[in-house]
Amino acid sequence: MLVRFGDREAQSVQIAAQTQEKAQENSGQKASEKQQRKNTIFAGDLPLHKDSITLRRQHAQKKAMKLVQDAWDTDRKTDQSIAEYEGLAQEQRKEILLNRDKIYECRERKENLREGYGVEKDSQEQKDLELLERLHYPNNGQFADVDFTEEERKRLEELEGEPLTEYQQRCLEIDGEEQVFKIREGRAESALEAYNGAVRSIKQERLKSHEMTDAQNNAKKVMDEASKDIQGMMWEEAKDQVDETYEEQREEAKEKAEEKEEQEEKIELRKEQKELMEARIEAVREESHEAQEAQRQQEKDAREEAELLGDMADAGLNVAGANDAVKAEIKDMLNKLKLIEADIKGIEVDEEI
């Protein structure tokens, strides 16, 4: 069965093929632009794992807080120690004042006794009392000088053999009490000096150590180091994520390239099919033209054969049942006769000229 395509069908086939090629080119260009946009990666869009980063930051914060807290605790203990020493010092001040009041009270009692017994300050009885007080209670403040003159030593020897007056005896008893208070006052003063010295030492050590400042500086270093570590962790995670993303994109690009290559092969195949179709269309056209020419030739031969048969019939020839060879020979003879007739006509024309 012979299929024929007209010019309009062939043109439609060609236009459809060109439209399909153009659509494929545009699709490939858009896919390339989309792939190029996907190749650009922003670190802020990466789904980083925040658990390790959070734990690292929390660990650093705890460590920094511990440094400051330890320094704060030490500073509080130092304050507590200072407060304790200052409290003890205050107690010793009270003790000192209390004993001094007792000492003044003892001296007032002795003065009241002197007045009560009517002893004059410059009397021999009073002088002998003071000499005995210097001997028995040399550390009672006002009798601190224990050095005696020769005259005083002789008088002391004389007093050893003489009985004491009631006034002198009672005053020496009060001197004994005063001596106790004086010892207590001295101990309190020593303790007060010790406590004050401890407070001064602690404060001086605090000024030297700068423990809170050092703790804050160390805490800042810890947080700075943690920040650097976190940045490194974020960089590593981002790098891994980027590598993974680029690997996925490379795989996707590879698949796209393979798909594109397959698409190009399909396009090339379609081009070849198109060219083959156009060639077939041209061949059909040629066959159609040749068939038309052959048909026209057959029709011409049929007309000529009919004319030949008519001429032979006019010439009284009966060619019915003659084979093709005979007919061809007769046809050749008639053609020659026609040529002769044409030549004759040509000669006649020439003669007329």
Work out the number of other CB atoms within 10 angstroms of the CB of residue 63.
16
Residues 166, 160: Cα–Cα separation, whole Å: 16
Residue 39 has pLDDT above 70, yes or no: no
Residues 245, 296: Cα–Cα separation, whole Å: 74
Whether 278 contacts 14, CB under 8 Å:
yes
User: Average pLDDT for residues 300-308, to the nearest whole number?
Assistant: 74
Torsion of CA 115, 117, 120, 124, to 10 degrees: -150
- Which segment of 103-112, 150-159, 220-229, 334-343 scores lowest on mean pLDDT? 334-343
How many C-alpha atoms does 95 have within 13 Å on its Cβ side? Answer: 19
Tokens read off for 11: 């043109």
Spell out the SS3 assignment of 80-132: HHHHHHHHHHHHHHHHHHHHHHHHHHHHHHHHHHHHHHCCCCCCHHHHHHHHH
CA terminus-to-terminus distance, the chain: 60
* Residue 199 Cα distances to 76, 206, 211, angstroms: 14, 11, 17
Question: pLDDT of 177-207, one tens digit each?
Answer: 999 999 999 999 999 999 999 999 999 988 8
User: Average pLDDT for residues 218-227, to the nearest whole number?
Assistant: 85
Give me the pLDDT at residue 279, please: 83
What's CA 95's distance to the chain center, in Å? Answer: 66
* Residue 210 Cα distances to 66, 199, 205, 206, angstroms: 17, 17, 9, 6
Residues 109, 107: Cα–Cα separation, whole Å: 5
Question: Higher pLDDT residue, 173 or 345?
Answer: 173
CB-based burial of residue 321 (10 Å sphere; 0-12 exposed, 13-18 middle, 19+ buried)?
exposed
- Closest to 230 measured CA to CA, from 11, 17, 55: 55
Percent pLDDT > 90 in the chain is 28
Give me the pLDDT at residue 338, please: 61
Q: What would the DSSP string read from start to end of 301-344?
A: HHHHHHHHHHHHHHTT---TT--HHHHHHHHHHHHHHHHHHHHH
Give per-residue burial for 213-236: e unless 16+ CB within 10 Å, then b: eebeeebeebeeebeeebeeebee
Give me the pLDDT at residue 34, please: 56
Residue 2's contacts (CB-CB under 8 Å, 6 or more residues apart) are: 284, 287
Give me the pLDDT at residue 58, please: 86
- Closest to 171 measured CA to CA, from 209, 201, 128: 128
Question: pLDDT of 247-290, one tens digit each?
Answer: 888 888 888 888 888 888 888 888 887 888 888 778 778 877 78
Residues 78, 204: Cα–Cα separation, whole Å: 12
Residue 5 has pLDDT above 50, yes or no: no
What's CA 61's distance to the chain center, in Å? Answer: 17
Q: How confident is the model at residue 143 (pLDDT cuts 50, 70, 90)?
A: very low
